[in-house]
Amino acid sequence: MKKHINKFILLILLGTSSLLADNIELSATVISDNEKFITSRFMGFISNLKVTEGSYVNKGDLLYEIDTSDMDAKKTQANIQVAMYQTQLQTVERNYERYKRLYEKGLVAKAQVEELEMNYQNLKDMVKVAKSQEGEVKTQYKYLSIKAPNSGVITKKMIKIGEMAIPGMPALVLTDLSSLKLQAEISESDLYKIKKGSSVNIEIPSLNYKTTGKVDSIIPSSNPMTHTFLVKINFKKTAKVYPGMYAKVFIKGN
């Protein structure tokens, strides 16, 4: 009788061990799925900086400004060019109209009228081009005031007032706190146990916070060094969770 009881207990323990072996616990990190590197379109010295690391900003808030001296010079030059061509156009237009009247009376040659007509058309085109360039310069002013493309927190600042802003070089990192996910790596031997949409349990130890989530994506590219796959997980947020926090992900075995 005692032998049968021991065998029964052993079977239970083996079954429990097998069940536990099918469960997976992953270490994860909170990330933002919408992190932007803020840069400028034009080169220039930074004249005003409105944020620091940790600053919360709303969409459209001013982040920093680039000195407008170079753009002011371009604007002045464009204005002068437009005014010059318009003055020339007015002069040629008056002469053209006068020569047309004289030609009708037979007092000037047709070639003179045609030459003035050609000059008149050329100057009209030049005025049009100059006004277009003037408009472009005015439009470019808005790119000297760099604004937040969305709400979030400034998590990194790489610029200071007086430094040169260089197009393509990151000046700030803006992290969207409304688009948080968990990122974890799962062994390729356990990959078959999850799929997109799988439900998981989540724990953030530093907050003593427990919640649930779902597998959002499995990146189909194995890390050749660790033989793991990257997994991103959506989760329910009712606590103040921030990027970089450590989390645990529990996946129930099938």
Region class of 162: left (phi > 0), else alpha (psi between -120 and 50), else beta? left
Q: Please report the pLDDT score of residue 202 as a whole number.
A: 95
Q: How confident is the model at residue 54 (pLDDT cuts 50, 70, 90)?
A: very high
Q: How confident is the model at residue 65 (pLDDT cuts 50, 70, 90)?
A: very high
On the question of pLDDT at 161 being above 90, the answer is: yes
Q: How are beta strands 62-66 and 164-165 bridged, if at all?
A: unpaired
Last residue of a domain, one of 147, 177, 207: 177
Q: Please report the pLDDT score of residue 19 as a whole number.
A: 44
On the question of pLDDT at 247 being above 90, the answer is: yes
Quote the domain boundaries for residue 132.
Answer: 34-177
Q: How confident is the model at residue 254 (pLDDT cuts 50, 70, 90)?
A: low
Mean pLDDT across the chain:
88
Nearest Cα neighbor of 83 from 139, 142, 133, 117 is: 133
Q: Are residues 26 and 131 in the same domain?
A: no
Q: Are residues 27 and 75 in the same domain?
A: no
Q: How confident is the model at residue 7 (pLDDT cuts 50, 70, 90)?
A: low
Domain membership of residue 1 (yes or no) is no
Domain membership of residue 10 (yes or no) is no
Domain membership of residue 138 (yes or no) is yes
On the question of pLDDT at 20 being above 70, the answer is: no
Q: Please report the pLDDT score of residue 31 as a whole number.
A: 94
Q: Please report the pLDDT score of residue 237 as a whole number.
A: 84
User: Which DSSP symbol is given to 67?
Assistant: -
The number of folded domains in the chain is 2
Last residue of a domain, one of 153, 177, 201: 177
On the question of pLDDT at 231 being above 90, the answer is: yes
Q: How confident is the model at residue 18 (pLDDT cuts 50, 70, 90)?
A: very low
Q: Please report the pLDDT score of residue 108 as a whole number.
A: 87
Q: Is 179 exposed, middle or buried (0-12, 13-18, 19+ CB in 10 A)?
A: middle
Q: How do the residues of the chain divide into helix, strand and coil, expressed in percent and rounded to 5?
A: 40, 30, 30
Domain membership of residue 2 (yes or no) is no
Domain membership of residue 89 (yes or no) is yes
Q: Are residues 72 and 185 in the same domain?
A: no
Q: What do you get for the CA distance between the two ends of the chain, in Å?
A: 35
Count the neighbouring beta carbons within 10 Å of the beta carbon of residue 98.
Answer: 13
Q: Are residues 70 and 153 in the same domain?
A: yes
DSSP string, 7-65: HHHHHHHHHHHHHHHH-EEEEEEEEES-EEEE--SS-EEEEEE---TT-EE-TT-EEEE
On the question of pLDDT at 160 being above 90, the answer is: yes
Domain membership of residue 238 (yes or no) is yes
Calculate what percentage of the chain has a pLDDT beyond 70.
91
Q: How confident is the model at residue 234 (pLDDT cuts 50, 70, 90)?
A: very high
Domain membership of residue 12 (yes or no) is no
Calculate what percentage of the chain has a pLDDT beyond 90.
69
Rounded CA gap, 60 and 51, in Å? 13
Rounded CA gap, 93 and 40, in Å? 44
Q: Are residues 39 and 108 in the same domain?
A: yes
Q: Are residues 28 and 40 in the same domain?
A: no
Q: Which pLDDT tens digit goes with each residue over 78-134?
A: 999 999 999 999 999 999 999 899 988 888 899 998 999 999 999 999 999 999 999
On the question of pLDDT at 4 being above 80, the answer is: no
Q: Please report the pLDDT score of residue 193 as a whole number.
A: 87
Rounded CA gap, 10 and 60, in Å? 66
Q: Are residues 144 and 226 in the same domain?
A: no
As beta bridge partners, residue 233 has: 182, 215
Does residue 249 or residue 237 have the better pLDDT? Answer: 249
Q: Are residues 93 and 169 in the same domain?
A: yes
